Every structure is written in structure tokens, then in C-alpha cells.
Structure 1
Amino acid sequence: MTPVATPTTARLHRRRRWLALLFTMVTAAGSIVFAGLAIRLDADLGEQRLDGELRRVTSTVTRLIEYDGTLITAFVSEDELNTRCPQFAILPGDADGFTGHFSQQSCVPLDPALLASLAAEAVRTGRLLNGYVRATGGELVRVGAEPFRNSQGQYIGAVVAAVDAGPERDRHNRVLLFAVAGCVLLVGAVGVAGHLLSGWALRPAAAALEQQEVLLADTAHDLRTPVAALRALAETALEHPTQRADLLPRTVQLAVRMGSIIDGLLVRARLAAGVEQLAIQPVWLDQLVTTMVEETPTDGAQVTVTAAPTKVDVDPVLMQRAVGNLLNNALRHGRRPGDSAIVHITVAGGRLMVADHGPGIDAAMAQEKFDRFNSGGGSNGLGLSIVRWVAQAHGGVLRVYNAEEGGAIFELVLPTSDS
């Protein structure tokens, strides 16, 4: 049976969605910040790699050149840097300076005027300059300009090196794409995980609320009939004082029935909520069942017991209730119209079997009937549901099936005691 969503459980489900959304948003914000920092760090590292490559060229060339009024580049021309990328140029700081020198390898096409302006800026500031420029074909180029001095310590020119930044930019774009895709996947995974975790965290509360609401509904349902009957008896007694002697025993019976219903509901609620503290101890199940049969009024029913010594680890109080409910269910419904009930109980090997000669029970509907607290004969009591809860609380199980010769058989299986 699909549970019906109540306002309380609906609020819990909305809170679950809000918790999952909040968890996802916090994770997304953290992921974006982290990804942004990682992307920025990767860009800085890429620039440092390019600048390191440029500095290797400019620092080497500045050590190889000589200037004694005339620029001497003999050693530069002989060095392998002159024929490799990155390309470089040795340029004066002003238009009236020495004649410049360009490396033999042209890796990217650059405007000589642009290189001259970079050299002039490096000489003017007296420090190493790095930056991005555009080649004549529009390519992105990383440049570095390192000034050098003459023998009097004056800055007179600069070595300007250039390297194609396209490969590094493409690598960084791949890192950027990977980071964005990773963030999207992470946020999606966190969203799913947050939804599952919030559901897992709120499931006990939702289950408890659903059980509480079902319990309240069942309490109202089970008490409605005896309360109405009790009111009718009271009104009849008020209107007809001469009938009070006949009505009083029926009133007491109804009160006892209501007390039994409330007691059963409380036991079921404590078991469902997990607050019932089981006082587990070894119990002779055969003796307990025999005593219960002897103390239970049968009202003319035929009850037989076949028992072998069987010790189980159970809570004696709860087990008495479970046995009593099975016995009362058989006495009430284990009969055919016009006949007295015939009940046979078997105890052996940690199993209690209660067989009757009633109309039987639909095994396919047994689980639903237990959940809705209905017996096979149409009773609205909680007897069989309590038995099932007691069995589950002890790690056992309650089974029901029909005998070939007719009637229902309820089998309660419990863990046997080792002591």
C-alpha cells in the first residue's frame, strides 16, 4: 500500500529538497572559487614558463654582446640561440644609437617599430619588461625586453625576445574546459548525493511522523465504534433507570475492550518508535503457552496443546501478549458458523503454531491485513499486528497460511536460547 503524503511529511519532503539545494549551492560556490583559483594559478604558471624561456634568451644574449662605441655581436652570431626560437633582436634605446641585430630565425612576424618601442621602454625604466603583443598576422605573442649597459653603466639598448603564446593559450584553454566540466560534474554529483543524504537523514523522522499519524488515525478508527456504543449505553441508562442493572455489565465490557485497544496501540507505538526496551531473557516457551491456555477463558471452545521443551530468548511480557493475541484471534475467528472454535497449538524448536478450523485467511493479503490491523474475519483490532511487531523486535518472523483441511495456521518463529 502506497503511503499517503500528509502535510507534515510534505513539509519534511520540502525541507529535504531545500537541504539538498543548499548543499549543492554551497558546494557549487566552493567549486567555482576553487576552480577560479586553479585556473588563475595555471595561467600564472603558463606565463612564468614563457617568461622563463624568454629570460633564458635575453640574459644569455646580454652576456654575449660587447659595446665599445660600436655593438659587437660576433659571439651572438655564433651561438645556437641565433638560429632557434624564441627569436630576439638587439635594439638601441633611441633612434640615434647603434645599429640593431636580429636573430636569423623568425618564429612570429613582428613589426620592427613595435620591438623598437619595447626596447626604448626597457631602457627608459631600466628594468625587465614582459607582456603580450599581437604579431602582424594577429597571433598572440609573449615578449620580454631586458636592457643592457655600456662600460659607463648607462642603459643604451635592450634585448627583445618574442615567443608564440598560441600553444600555451591552447593548453590553458584545455585546462579551463576541463575545470568547468569538472565543476559541472562535481556539482551534479553533489546534488544527487545531497538529495540521497538528506533523504537518508530525514527518513527516520519522516517514518516516525508517518507512524504517528497512522497510529492516530487507527486509534480514532478503532475507538469510534466502542465509544459510540458506550455513549448509547450511557444514554439508555439515563433514559431508562430500570435497565441500568442490565446495561452496567455491557458498559464494563466496552470499557475493558477500549482499554485493551489503547494498550495494544501503545505497545505497537513503542515498538514502531524503537523506544521499547526489551528485557531479553531465556524463557521456556512451552510452559508460557501452556499457562496462557489454562488462564484464558475458552467459552466452550476446544483447545489442545502439543508442546516439547523449547527455550527462547525473548521479553516475557511482550511474548505473553503475542501468545495471547494469537490465541484470542483463533478463539474469535477459528470457527465455522454455528460451531464452537477448535484450536490446536504446537510448540517445538522455537516455533509456535496456532491452527484453527475457521474460514482461513488469504495468504496473499495477509501482509496488507497486518499493516492495516485487520484480521481475516474482518476485525479492526491490532492483535495480529502486535504479534508481528513482537516477532520482528526479537529477530523472529510471523507467517500465516491455510491448512489443507481448512482453517488458518499462524506460525511464530523465534530465536532459540543457547543457555
Structure 2
Amino acid sequence: MSARARIVGWMLVVVGLALSVSVFATWTILLATLENRVNAELANEMEKLRKYAESSSASPRAMLEDYMAVNAPDRHETFFVIVDGKARWVTYADPPAVLDTDRALVARMAAATEPEQDWATSTAGRVRWAVMPVIADGEIEGSFVAIVFYDLERQEIVEAVRVLGLTALAALLLAGAAGWFVAGRVLAPVRLVRQTAERIGGSSDLSRRLAVSGDDDVSALAATFNHMLDRLERAFAVQRDFLDDAGHELRTPITVVRGHLELMGDDPGERAATLALVTDELGRMNRLVDDLIMLARSEQPGFVTPGEVELADLTVEVVAKARALGERRWRVDEVAEEQVTADRQRLTQALIQLVANAVRHTGPGDLIAVGSAVREGQVELWVRDTGPGVPEQDRERIFNRFVRGAARTGSHDGAGLGLAIVRSIAEAHRGIVRVREANGGGALFLISFPYEEIPLTSPYED
């Protein structure tokens, strides 16, 4: 059974139970009040006769005759008077059943010496009657009889409850149809989620998304599912890129190591040279793997650990550490006397990487400067040099993985992951890194990110 059918089924059970209780309660309450209402009506007729008698100056029998002339029975009622043991002066309206001809019943009523109520049967069902004797000088001059046809009154209640029951049934069917329609609309996003998940499971296509409209819980579910697909797609893309990059870059050193080991002879000098070459290649592979792992982690939550960072201390510290990288003219351009929320170690790593990149593309005596500033709500960290600069057509491409630029010596040192790591660190701080021509020539690498007191996470975390 589908979720839609289960929901509608349970809804119908609940609504049906509620309607059944309502109909049964109505039936019970109406029946419970019917007898009280009939008794009250008979008592009211007796009271009306008593008041009329008190205001009349006629003889008892004449008073009864006059009262019958002016008092008309309600629906399902009939009146008559008993005089000398016989029924007389019956109301002009034809009653549902004739009772004044029932000698036994009339005799019983005539024998009453005080007001009395009781039940009787007729061709119209059970009736409730009341008799009030009129006594003068100790003698019964006549008796007034009022009769209510109880079963006819009850039948009206039965009809009303039947109509109520049919109305409840129609309401239940209407609720079922409306529930089926509404459940279909409400569960449509859930059904789309299931169908999309099935298609993804069958084709591994993570590019499918659900159309989200509205702001209810089901729409929120669809939006959450789309966010989950975004994360999965990014995770699979990261995994695919990592495998492609690792396979591409590790294949060459593995081939080199295997080839030299296979060709290695017994000569001690040759063995030492081969061992040195293999050790160097293995070290390069180790650095490459470390860089690839860092890039993979940069796209996961928790890559950065935010804290308070003094920009002035960070800038000076980077220059102090960078002096050991080469004989250059080192300078601090500018420092920002500000505290920012950032990951000090990651920012240091990024700046050192930019400094190392500048060292590879400059020579002894060239200038390398590091600076920091806060401008227009942005934290800016930069490294500039007086080297050859970066051609305009390469300024975006060099931040991709395994893109190597020619060093000052013409060699291609490194695996081409350094600037990709710098970009990942900038993006983890919800910022960017870019390169442009420095004033006076050379390259200026600039990292900028928002100057806000917010917890930092990976840019790939929703």
C-alpha cells in the first residue's frame, strides 16, 4: 500500500470515527431530551387549563367546553374531555390515531381523581397522555385529556438523525476525495525524491534536482535533498579529480622508479646512483600525495579552524620565516593594525606558498614584499615581487591543479599544486585569490576575504 493510500485511509478512519461519535451522541441526546420535552408539554397544557379555570366564571363543564373551543393542539397532539365517563368535545383536527373510542383507556382516565400521566398504545405507536380532573363540591364534573403521540415525535428524530448520518457519509466521501487530492499534492515532492533517488541509483547521475516551490515542510525536504545532492556531487567530483590527478601525476615517478630498479646492475656506483634517484622520486611522490590530500581536505568541513588573528603579527612573521628561502630584498609593504577572525596557520601557509612561488620566479637581489590591509570591509593579504610577472592569459589558469609556470631558470620545479592550495585556503575563508601586475613590474598575488566576525567553515559546506 502506498503512503498516499495509508494517509488517506487513516484520515478516513479518524474522520469516520469522529462523525460516528457525533451522530451517535446527537441520537442519544435527542432521545434523552424527547421524553422530558413531552412531559413538559403535557404539564404546560395542564397549567394552561388551571389558569383558564381560575379566570372563568362559567360552570366547570361550560368552562371545559369553552376551553376546548379556544385551545388548539400542536402537531402530534390531540385533546378531548371526559364527562360522565364518556369522551366528548374532541378537538376539530383529526388526530393521527383515535383514542377517545378506547373505552378501557377512557374509563381509566375518568377514574383519575388528581392530575396523572401515563403511557398507552395506539395505531400510531406509543403515546403519552395526561388527565386533569375538574372537581366542584367534591364531585368530578369532567376531565381534560391531553395526548402526545410519542412515537411520531421520535420518528422525526430518527429522520433527522438519518439525514445527519447521510450528510456525515457524504462529508466522509468528500473528505476522502479531498484527502486523496491533497495527499497527492503534499507527497508529490516526496515521490519526486524517491524517483530521483532511484534514477540516481540506476545511472549515477547526480546532476538531477527537484523543483522547489513554497515554504512548507515538504518543500524544505525537497530543498534539503537538493543540498544533499549538491554535497554528494561535489564529493564525487573531488574524489574523481583526486583519483585522476593522483593517477596522472604518480604514474611518471612510479615508472621512473620501476625502470631504474629493473635496469640496476651490480656495480656499487650504479646502485648508489639508482638509490639516490629512487629516493628523490619517492620524496617527490610523498610531497605530491601530501599536497593532493590537503586539496581534498580543503573541500571538506573543518578545513579551517577560526580564531583571532593579529594581521600585523602575521605579516611580520611571514617575512621573518621567508628570509630563509632565498637571497632577496625582503620588505614589509604595509601592516593592518586589526584583529580578524581567521585560521592563522592556513593564512601563513598560503602566504609562505606565495612567497616560495615568488622566490622561484626571481633572482638574487630582486624585491619580494609582503603586506596586509583592511579596505572597504575586506581583509587583503598580498605578496609582490619584481620578477617577470604573469602573462595576462595565464592569470586564471595558474590557480588550477598541476599547472606549472616557468621558473627564472627555465625549469618547471614543483607539481603545480601550490597555487591551487592557496586558492583553496582563500575560498575556505570565503574569499578569493588573484594575480595582477605590480607597480613597477612583476607580479602581485592578492588574497582577500570578508572582514566579519563569523565562524569559518569550508566553502563547500552548506
Distance 2:239 2:257 in 1: 26
Change (3 A) 1:288 1:343: same
2:434 corresponds to which of 400, 404, 417: 400
- Confirm or deny: 8 A CA contact 2:380 2:449 kept in the other structure: yes
Unaligned runs of 5+ residues in structure 1 are 1-21, 67-73, 83-88, 99-115, 124-146
Change (3 A) 1:411 1:61: same
Q: How does 1:128-143 map to 2 (within 5 A)?
A: none
- Confirm or deny: 8 A CA contact 2:15 2:172 kept in the other structure: no
Name the larger-Rg structure.
2
Distance 2:223 2:168 in 1: 37
Distance 1:277 1:396 in 2: 11
Aligned counterpart, 1:185? 182
- Confirm or deny: 8 A CA contact 1:226 1:254 kept in the other structure: yes
Aligned counterpart, 1:231? 258
Give the secondary structure class of the aligned counterpart of 1:413: strand
Amino acid at match of 1:385: A
Query: What is the CA distance between 1:199 and its match in structure 2?
Result: 5.3
Query: What is the CA distance between 1:347 and its match in structure 2?
Result: 0.9
Distance 1:188 1:390 in 2: 44
Give the secondary structure class of the aligned counterpart of 2:259: helix
What is the CA deviation profile of residues 176-211 of structure 1, one whole-angstrom value per residue up to 9, with x for unaligned ones?
Answer: 424542454245335532444455568767755654
Q: How does 1:17-28 map to 2 (within 5 A)?
A: 25=3
- Confirm or deny: 8 A CA contact 2:401 2:416 kept in the other structure: yes
Which range moved further: 268-277 or 318-327? Answer: 268-277
Aligned counterpart, 2:382? 353
Change (3 A) 1:303 1:252: farther
Aligned counterpart, 1:161? 155
Unaligned runs of 5+ residues in structure 2 are 44-67, 78-94, 105-121, 132-148, 190-217, 374-378, 407-413, 454-462
Give the secondary structure class of the aligned counterpart of 1:78: coil
Structure 1 segments (4+ residues) deviating >6 Å? 339-343, 404-407, 415-418
Amino acid at match of 2:391: P
Aligned counterpart, 2:349? 321
Q: Which has the higher contact order (CA 8 A, sep 6+)?
A: 1
Aligned counterpart, 1:45? 22
Give the secondary structure class of the aligned counterpart of 2:151: strand
- Confirm or deny: 8 A CA contact 1:237 1:243 kept in the other structure: yes
Aligned counterpart, 1:14? none
TM-score, normalised to structure 1, is: 0.56
Distance 1:230 1:287 in 2: 42
Query: What is the CA distance between 1:410 and its match in structure 2?
Result: 2.7
Distance 1:183 1:158 in 2: 42
Query: What is the CA distance between 1:323 and its match in structure 2?
Result: 2.1
What is the CA deviation profile of residues 86-143 of structure 1, one whole-angstrom value per residue up to 9, with x for unaligned ones?
Answer: xxx95699xx999xxxxxxxxxxxxxxxxx99x66xx6xxxxxxxxxxxxxxxxxxxx
- Equivalent pairs counted in the alignment come to 322
Give the secondary structure class of the aligned counterpart of 1:278: coil
Which range moved further: 382-391 or 29-38? Answer: 29-38
- Confirm or deny: 8 A CA contact 2:42 2:129 kept in the other structure: no
Query: What is the CA distance between 1:78 and its match in structure 2?
Result: 2.5
1:32 corresponds to which of 9, 12, 17: 9
Question: Is residue 2:336 matched to residue 1:307?
Answer: no
Distance 2:227 2:331 in 1: 46
Distance 1:63 1:396 in 2: 84
**Identity over aligned pairs, percent:** 19
Distance 1:401 1:78 in 2: 106
Give the secondary structure class of the aligned counterpart of 1:181: helix
Query: What is the CA distance between 1:65 and its match in structure 2?
Result: 6.6
Aligned counterpart, 1:101? none
Amino acid at match of 1:325: Q
